[in-house]
């Protein structure tokens, strides 16, 4: 497999606090970059000459590249060393950020975002592995909570900072701002992170290629399907067939290969497999919501970009607050109970969002975002703690890699699915509403009405069409929120599959359940 990095004791004592700060800073720039770009998407579309349904490739290209590159983490960490890989990833991410800010076309932007996503893919799993190694097992929950609070500064600052930079300078500065943070993280990684000696294993090139082809074809199918009328297009059919074939080959390979890229030992672990499924669905909900709200606020409600960013900020504040509380409750309250509480809040907030109105104030956006963020804060730390509780240290990097892969993949699927539904439902709602407001549907009006109104009639019809477009888009957004509400409800029963910590006894060598 991709190298199961077996860390040995570092050559010098490790300062857990410094390791935490370096890991948090590197994770911060990756999270910041995803949320900071959301509020700038409408401005990017105009500058790069992209349509609203194609500019989202700026988001999905980054996420898919991160998902495909993530399984390389363990192998590359074993080959060049985890510290060296972490530093290279920070440097690559920072350089790609600058290139994104210099992009002159959508094609260039998507390519540079691919580079950025591929570089940043290693930071979260490596950072998580560094943290788990730096703290004793009894403090893993608190360490994850502290790290989570730190990286949640990104979602709080991202929309606000992105809005301010876009409004006062231009959207390119949402990428240039990564430069100072990236350089600081790079110097910190070289100075603070411990060097480890890792046992190398064969790289599973066949499994990696099969997975990469499957993921790439699947994302292309989702992105192109809406534009090409889905399976009425031969291209989309071919992409779907390639994705299915790639996933099937990958599944057969990991079941039969001697050292597959995804170790079978992980697939036999009920907690980590459940964690994989859960984080995929949570990724869908979190990223899709973050991608939908900024254009909704700016285009339907006419919010300035800074105001849109401020309106998104309570979601991050709620997540930070939830994680702070969870950090104190870990070990005292059943983690599954905290997860259930979090899912109830997330589902309830999504249900409330289905009642948004085009004539309401900012209040509902603020409190639903705060509640949803608070619920997410109660989800992530307990989920991470339970999912990794039974994973052997030998497989920790592999588990973190696929955990991050599925979170990223869930986010990409969520964005593509929500944008596709938005476009299709807008067309359907526009046709339904438009049929009811034609001049010819007015009692007593005939074919001569529009002709008699002349230029005034054209103006009236244009205004009517604008109103219909807004109402149709609002209906489509509500349909998206309804879908996400049901996804959150469907995901909740997975909690019962997680075995609580008090029933888990981990053998450091084999990570078995007793």
**DSSP per residue over 137-182, as a string?**
GGGHHHHHHHHHHHHTHHHHHHHHHHHHHHHHS-TTHHHHTHHHHH
The residue-averaged pLDDT of 132-138 equals 73
CB-based contact 122:76 (threshold 8 Å): yes
Q: In the 8-state DSSP scheme, what is residue 258?
A: S
- Tens of pLDDT, residue by residue over 449-485, are 455 555 555 566 666 667 777 788 888 888 888 988 9
Least confident of 95-109, 247-261, 408-422: 408-422
The whole-angstrom separation of Cα 19 and Cα 15 is 6
- What is the pLDDT confidence band of residue 434, given thresholds at 50, 70 and 90? low
Alpha-carbon torsion 130, 134, 136, 139, what sign?
A: negative
- What is the pLDDT confidence band of residue 248, given thresholds at 50, 70 and 90? very high
Tell me which residue of 404, 378, 411 sits closest to 484, measured CA to CA: 411
Tell me which residue of 371, 346, 305 sits closest to 488, measured CA to CA: 346
Of the ranges 303-312, 358-367, 414-423, which is most confident? 358-367
The whole-angstrom separation of Cα 419 and Cα 423 is 6
**Other Cβ atoms closer than 10 A to 215:** 23
Residue with tokens 């399907």: 225
- Tens of pLDDT, residue by residue over 310-361, are 787 788 788 878 887 887 787 788 888 888 999 999 999 999 998 888 888 8
pLDDT confidence of residue 53: 59
Q: In the 8-state DSSP scheme, what is residue 169?
A: S
- What is the pLDDT confidence band of residue 1, given thresholds at 50, 70 and 90? very low
User: Tokens for 39?
Assistant: 């509020």
Helices (H), 389-447: 396-434
**b/e map of 88-103 (b: 16 or more CB within 10 Å)?**
bbbbbbbbbbbbbbeb
- What is the pLDDT confidence band of residue 508, given thresholds at 50, 70 and 90? very low
Coil, strand or helix: which one is 177? Answer: coil
**Other Cβ atoms closer than 10 A to 480:** 24
The whole-angstrom separation of Cα 281 and Cα 291 is 16
User: Tokens for 13?
Assistant: 């004592």
pLDDT confidence of residue 36: 67
**b/e map of 389-399 (b: 16 or more CB within 10 Å)?**
bbbbbbbbbbb
pLDDT confidence of residue 512: 31
178 compared with 441, residue with greater pLDDT:
178
């Amino acid at each position: 497999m991709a190298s199961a990095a077996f860390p040995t004791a570092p050559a010098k004592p490790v300062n857990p606090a410094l390791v935490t700060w370096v890991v948090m800073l590197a994770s911060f720039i990756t999270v910041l970059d995803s949320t900071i770009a959301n509020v700038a998407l409408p401005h990017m579309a105009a500058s790069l000459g992209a349509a609203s349904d194609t500019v989202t490739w700026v988001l999905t290209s980054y996420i898919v590249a991160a998902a495909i590159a993530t399984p390389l983490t363990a192998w590359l960490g074993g080959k060049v060393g985890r510290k060296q890989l972490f530093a290279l990833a920070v440097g690559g991410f920072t350089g790609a950020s600058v290139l994104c800010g210099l992009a002159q076309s959508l094609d260039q932007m998507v390519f540079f975002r691919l580079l950025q996503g591929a570089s940043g893919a290693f930071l979260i799993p490596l950072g998580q592995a560094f943290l788990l190694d730096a703290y004793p097992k009894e403090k893993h929950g608190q360490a994850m909570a502290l790290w989570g609070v730190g990286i949640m500064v990104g979602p709080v600052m991202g929309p606000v900072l992105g809005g301010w930079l876009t409004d006062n300078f231009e959207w390119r500065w949402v990428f240039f701002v990564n430069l100072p943070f990236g350089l600081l993280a790079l110097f910190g990684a070289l100075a603070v992170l411990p060097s480890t000696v890792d046992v190398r294993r064969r790289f599973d090139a066949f499994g990696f290629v099969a997975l990469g082809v499957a993921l790439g074809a699947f994302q292309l199918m989702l992105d192109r399907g809406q534009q090409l009328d889905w399976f009425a297009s031969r291209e989309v059919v071919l992409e779907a067939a390639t994705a299915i074939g790639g996933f099937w080959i990958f599944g057969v390979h990991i079941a039969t290969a001697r050292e597959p890229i995804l170790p079978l030992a992980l697939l036999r672990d009920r907690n980590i497999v459940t964690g994989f499924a859960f984080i995929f669905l949570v990724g869908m909900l979190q990223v899709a919501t973050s991608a939908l709200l900024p254009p909704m606020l700016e285009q339907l409600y006419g919010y300035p970009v800074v105001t849109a960013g401020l309106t998104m900020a309570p979601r991050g504040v709620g997540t930070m607050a939830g994680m702070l509380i969870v950090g104190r409750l870990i070990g005292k309250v059943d983690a599954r109970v905290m997860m259930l509480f979090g899912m109830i809040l997330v589902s309830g907030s999504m249900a409330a969002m289905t009642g948004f109105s085009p004539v309401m104030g900012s209040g509902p956006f603020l409190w639903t975002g705060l509640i949803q963020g608070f619920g997410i804060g109660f989800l992530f730390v307990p989920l991470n703690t339970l999912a990794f509780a039974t994973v052997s240290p030998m497989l920790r990097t592999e588990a973190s890699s696929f955990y991050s892969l599925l979170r990223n993949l869930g986010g990409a699927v969520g964005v593509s699915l929500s944008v596709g539904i938005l476009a299709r439902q807008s067309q359907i709602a526009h046709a339904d509403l438009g049929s009811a407001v034609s001049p010819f549907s007015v009692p007593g009006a005939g074919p001569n009405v529009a002709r008699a109104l002349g230029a005034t009639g054209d103006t009236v019809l244009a205004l009517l069409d604008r109103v219909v477009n807004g109402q149709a888009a609002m209906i489509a957004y509500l349909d998206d929120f309804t879908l996400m509400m049901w996804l959150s409800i469907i995901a909740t029963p997975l909690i019962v599959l997680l075995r609580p910590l008090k029933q888990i006894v981990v053998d450091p060598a084999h990570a078995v359940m007793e």
